[in-house]
Amino acid sequence: MQGSSALLCKIRVLADQSRSYLSLGTINIFNFLCSVGSMVHLSLSLWRFCLLSLPLASSLSIPQKAIVEESEDSTLIRDLVIDDAELNITDYTSLDEWNPAEWDYDVVIVGGGPAGLAASMSLARVARTSLLYDSQEYRNEQTRYMHDVLGQDGQVPLKFRSTVRQQIEQLYPDYSFWATRKTKVIGIVPLEKGFRVYDDKGGKVTSKRVIMATGIKDVLPDKPGFAEAFGRGMFWCPWCDGHDYKNRKLVVYGKLASAIGSALNMRKLTTDITIVTGGPLSKEDKEAAETRWPGWETVLKNSYKIPIRENDITKVERTTTSMEPKDDQYKVYLNGGGPLDANGIIIHVSTVQTSSLPKQLRLNMDGNGVKVNDNKESSVNGLYVVGDANNDGSTNAYHAMWSAKRAAVHAHVSMSKQEYLDSVPSAMVAVAGGHEDFYRRQMEELESHIGDDVEQMYKALGG
Ligand SMILES: Cc1cc2nc3c(=O)[nH]c(=O)nc-3n(C[C@H](O)[C@H](O)[C@H](O)COP(=O)(O)OP(=O)(O)OC[C@H]3O[C@@H](n4cnc5c(N)ncnc54)[C@H](O)[C@@H]3O)c2cc1C
């Protein structure tokens, strides 16, 4: 097309110096293409491209820091600086690359924990192809057994993941695909109606949707023995590990108000509990505890007989070589007084996102979680965040699988709708008010159905 000569331009995307964000997105590309469009004869399909991209470009947009400069080159060159890796990607030489006719996959799934695997299966059940990347950084990496999951109670997490994966591979070889093991996604670029995904092995694929199931990490105090003990007697979730410490010695380590909460949640399992507060209690600590647990001092001392040690823990030491939970034994060293013996240690930790992708994409956040709507869609249209990484406020295997299922359903339904709309003859669309209005109205109508529940989504699809 004549217009291609006008695409003689070089886009150099400079990453944010300090953060190295992925810095190219739809608005600049759209603006650029529209300004190019004014210089060329716009064919019918280009008009369609511009019109259709209006609502989508704004909804897919991510904040930009791009410098666009004219050049003699015949290609658009983007230098993406992502973390430590620098990619030279020759891209967007034509409208086809901005809005490809063929997609490599319906969905790219980033993450191979329970959330990512659930998405893979769900999509395969409705004949949607997916490619799953797994960098093998699991939150429960050190956990010996997973619990409180029907049919999987006491299962080794690695075994759980490999069994699920094997089942998916056997049942849905035509739909569920897997990137080479330990491949990390390092960049995701929104296109007009989908995404281009880059990995650390130099690969890139396109997909209509992305489901990020990238998880979170627990940030442990930098103290001797903590990293080794985490998931092996040191834990935060009573439902996950608590039952292993029934009638055994427990230390609860944390700020007074939350430590009392954990102690109460464990008290049905064991009454042999000591709270260690991390240091002398301040007036604020006591007030916070009083607000949440009126009369805490009296109840803990006289009724529950839970001692409170106003010390910090300096080190924990495993005093048994057996790795079975039933044998867990620790010495908990304090900065005052002798060490405590404990079988289990409950700890309160903060968490961070495992992946830098939410930062690169500048997704809206809610605290440390990626902000998602009811359908688990992030602030970038068509990009879902499921499992621990989102802001649902729940972090367990059930939530991971449920939220992935929800996203997979929404992704499928919205792709089906989009495919339908793309098949409507142009003449009919014109009668309905033109592409922009027609398209927007239809997608809004779909959203109103999807705002409901999963069942409603099937109905929206005509099921
Ligand atoms: C000590 C401990 C014990 C627990 N016990 C239980 C329990 O008994 N029962 C329970 O229900 N829950 C338990 N949990 C919680 C449970 O582990 C999490 O809720 C669950 O793993 C979340 O699943 P997820 O798929 O969201 O994330 P994860 O399982 O953390 O998986 C994240 C995935 O994303 C991948 N990833 C991240 N970034 C990238 C990238 N850029 N490219 C490619 N891949 C990427 C990782 O490699 C990984 O595959 C426990 C947690 C801990 C810490």
Domain residue ranges of the chain, discontinuous segments joined by +: 105-217+353-422, 226-349
Three-class DSSP category at 199:
strand
Three-class DSSP category at 373:
coil
The answer, yes or no, to whether any atom of ligand 1 lies below 6 A from the CB of 208, is no
Question: How far is it, in rounded angstroms, from Cα 180 to Cα 136?
Answer: 11
Q: Separation of 358 CA from ligand 1 center, angstroms?
A: 16
Give pLDDT, residue 428: 79
Q: Return the best residue to mutate from 131, 220, 354, 406 for the ligand 1 pocket (most ligand atoms within 8 A of CB).
A: 354
Task: Locate the ligand 1 atom nearest the alpha carbon of residue 212 and give its number.
Answer: 34
Number of H helices and E strands in the chain, helices first, is 15, 23
Q: Separation of 113 CA from ligand 1 center, angstroms?
A: 5
Give pLDDT, residue 462: 53
Output 55 or 326, whichever has higher pLDDT: 326
The answer, yes or no, to whether any atom of ligand 1 lies below 6 A from the CB of 354, is yes
Yes or no: say if 76 and 93 are a contact pair by the CB < 8 Å rule.
yes
The answer, yes or no, to whether any atom of ligand 1 lies below 6 A from the CB of 134, is yes
The answer, yes or no, to whether any atom of ligand 1 lies below 6 A from the CB of 140, is yes
**How is residue 357 written in tokens?**
């992708």
Question: How far is it, in rounded angstroms, from Cα 128 to Cα 415?
Answer: 10
Output 95 or 324, whichever has higher pLDDT: 324
Q: How far is CA 339 from the centre of its chain?
A: 39
Is 226-349 assigned to CATH 3.30.70.560?
A: no
Q: Separation of 395 CA from ligand 1 center, angstroms?
A: 9
The answer, yes or no, to whether any atom of ligand 1 lies below 6 A from the CB of 231, is yes
Give the number of other Cβ atoms within 10 Å of residue 179's Cβ. 22
Domain 105-217+353-422 CATH (choose: 3.30.2290.10, 3.50.50.60, 3.40.50.2020, 3.20.20.30): 3.50.50.60
Give pLDDT, residue 26: 36
Question: Residue 449: pLDDT band by 50, 70, 90 thresholds?
Answer: low
Give the number of other Cβ atoms within 10 Å of residue 326's Cβ. 9
Rounded to the nearest 5°, which phi and psi values hold at 180? -50, 140
Question: How far is it, in rounded angstroms, from Cα 214 to Cα 51?
Answer: 34
The answer, yes or no, to whether any atom of ligand 1 lies below 6 A from the CB of 369, is no
Question: Residue 32: pLDDT band by 50, 70, 90 thresholds?
Answer: very low
Task: Report which protein residue has its CA nearest ligand 1's atom 50.
Answer: 140
The sign of the torsion formed by the CA atoms of 448, 449, 454, 456 equals: positive
The candidate with the shortest Cα–Cα distance to 143, out of 354, 323, 315, 329, is 323
The sign of the torsion formed by the CA atoms of 357, 360, 363, 368 equals: positive
Judged against a pLDDT cut of 80, whether residue 54 lies above it is answered with: no
Looking at 36-45, 298-307, 325-334, which range is the least confident one? 36-45
Output 443 or 182, whichever has higher pLDDT: 182
Q: Separation of 216 CA from ligand 1 center, angstroms?
A: 7
User: Taking the model in full, what pTM does it have?
Assistant: 0.81
Q: Separation of 145 CA from ligand 1 center, angstroms?
A: 13
Mean pLDDT of the chain: 81
The candidate with the shortest Cα–Cα distance to 234, out of 162, 151, 306, 143, is 143
Output 423 or 354, whichever has higher pLDDT: 354
Question: How far is it, in rounded angstroms, from Cα 426 to Cα 351?
Answer: 50
The candidate with the shortest Cα–Cα distance to 378, out of 343, 74, 389, is 389
Which amino acid appears at position 57 of this protein?
Answer: A
Task: Report which protein residue has its CA nearest ligand 1's atom 53.
Answer: 140
DSSP state for residue 41 in the 8-state scheme: P
Hey, what long-range contacts does 140-147 have (CB within 8 A, 24 or more apart)?
Answer: 140/113, 140/231, 141/231, 142/230, 142/231, 142/232, 143/231, 143/240, 143/241, 144/231, 144/232, 144/323, 144/324, 144/325, 145/325, 146/240, 146/397, 147/239, 147/240, 147/241, 147/243
The answer, yes or no, to whether any atom of ligand 1 lies below 6 A from the CB of 357, is yes
Give pLDDT, residue 318: 98
Question: How far is it, in rounded angstroms, from Cα 213 to Cα 389?
Answer: 7
Question: How far is it, in rounded angstroms, from Cα 99 to Cα 192?
Answer: 6
Question: Residue 228: pLDDT band by 50, 70, 90 thresholds?
Answer: very high
- In residues, how long is the chain? 463
Rg of the chain on CA atoms, in Å: 26
Task: Report which protein residue has its CA nearest ligand 1's atom 35.
Answer: 111
275-303: per-residue pLDDT in tens? 999 999 999 999 999 999 999 999 999 99
For residues 62-85, give the mean pLDDT.
35
Rounded to the nearest 5°, which phi and psi values hold at 120? -60, -45
Q: Do domains 105-217+353-422 and 226-349 have the same CATH topology?
A: yes
DSSP 143-181: -S-B-SSTTTTTB-HHHHHHHHHHHHHHH-TTTEEEPPT
Question: How far is it, in rounded angstroms, from Cα 406 to Cα 202?
Answer: 31
Q: Locate the DSSP E strands across 13-123.
A: 67-70, 76-82, 85-91, 105-110
Judged against a pLDDT cut of 70, whether residue 387 lies above it is answered with: yes
